[in-house]
Amino acid sequence: MLARAGTLGVDMSIAYATATPTADELIDLYAACTLGGRRPMQQDGAAKTMLDASNIHEEAREAGRLVGFARAWTDRVHVTYLADLAVRETHQKHGIGRALIRRVQAAAPQALMVLIAAPQAHEYYGRIGFAQHRSCWILRPGMTV
Ligand SMILES: CC(C)(COP(=O)(O)OP(=O)(O)OC[C@H]1O[C@@H](n2cnc3c(N)ncnc32)[C@H](O)[C@@H]1OP(=O)(O)O)[C@@H](O)C(=O)NCCC(=O)NCCS
């Protein structure tokens, strides 16, 4: 699917697809936005493991280059966890993030979508229509129950 993104006066021809980038493309994209510092991308094999273990991959490309990506895990009927949403800094605020989330939702329309927002995106999800939930709990690696 080709779409024009140009809300800030810059025209971009963005091709969206349900497809999996290479691990190197993922590392490059995450380095081009703040997500690079929030994921273990420097860890050997981490990018490939992350891709292999998730079951929804939505890409945005401009002239073949990966400019946005959403990675999620879903059971298709109950819940979808949006693990990563990344848009190249040069391409942000052109509707790419929202379009990728719409594609993730379309892959499992019946499922509740949940995520943990990065500090940089704290205001983002509310702005595009997500509801904040008070009952989110996390268990960090090393914490025990
Ligand atoms: C957060 C991110 C995915 C947003 O993607 P994007 O393509 O720039 O966002 P969109 O163009 O779809 O923005 C949709 C709307 O949200 C607004 N918006 C974008 N980024 C925002 C932010 N960080 N905070 C608040 N609002 C934001 C846009 O201005 C737009 O508003 P409008 O509809 O009134 O015009 C992108 O900035 C990014 O990759 N950031 C770095 C990585 C990151 O933090 N990812 C999220 C991990 S939880």
Q: Rounded to the nearest whole angstrom, what is the distance from the C-alpha of residue 120 to the centroid of ligand 1? A: 9
What's the pLDDT band for 121 if we cut at 50, 70, 90?
very high
Which residue among 35, 41, 93 has the greatest number of ligand 1 atoms within 8 angstroms of its CB, and so is best to mutate? Answer: 93
Q: What's the pTM value of the predicted model, to 2 decimals? A: 0.94
- Residue 78, domain member (yes or no): yes
> Is residue 92 a contact partner of residue 124, using CB atoms and an 8 Å limit?
no
Q: Is 14's pLDDT higher than 90?
A: yes
Token pair listed for 66: 């990966």
Q: How far is the CA of 32 from the centre of ligand 1 (A)?
A: 14
The answer to whether residue 95 sits within a structural domain is yes
pLDDT tens digits, residue range 60-93? 999 999 999 999 999 999 999 999 999 999 999 9
pLDDT value for 52: 97
Q: Does the beta carbon of 130 lie inside 6 Å of ligand 1?
A: no
In a domain, 57, yes or no: yes
* Percent above pLDDT 90 for the chain: 86
Q: How far is the CA of 80 from the centre of ligand 1 (A)?
A: 20
On whether residue 145 sits in a domain, the answer given is: no
In a domain? residue 141: no
Q: Is the CB of 95 under 6 A from ligand 1?
A: yes
Give nearest CA residue, ligand 1 atom 33.
128
Domain count, the chain: 1
Return all residues near 4 (Cβ < 8 A) that are at least 6 apart.
Answer: 11, 12, 13, 14
Give the model's confidence band at 37: pLDDT under 50 very low, under 70 low, under 90 confident, else very high: confident
Q: Which domain holds residue 51?
A: 2-128
Residue 124 lies inside a defined structural domain of this protein: yes
Confirm whether 54 is domain-assigned. yes
Query: What CATH number does residue 56 fall under?
Result: 3.40.630.30
Indicate the SS3 state at residue 67: strand
For 2-16, 28-42, 45-59, which range has the lowest pLDDT when averaged over its residues? 2-16
- Give the residue, out of 16, 92, 101, 123, with the most ligand 1 atoms within 8 A of its beta carbon, to mutate for a pocket test: 92
How do the residues of the chain divide into helix, strand and coil, expressed in percent and rounded to 5? 30, 30, 40
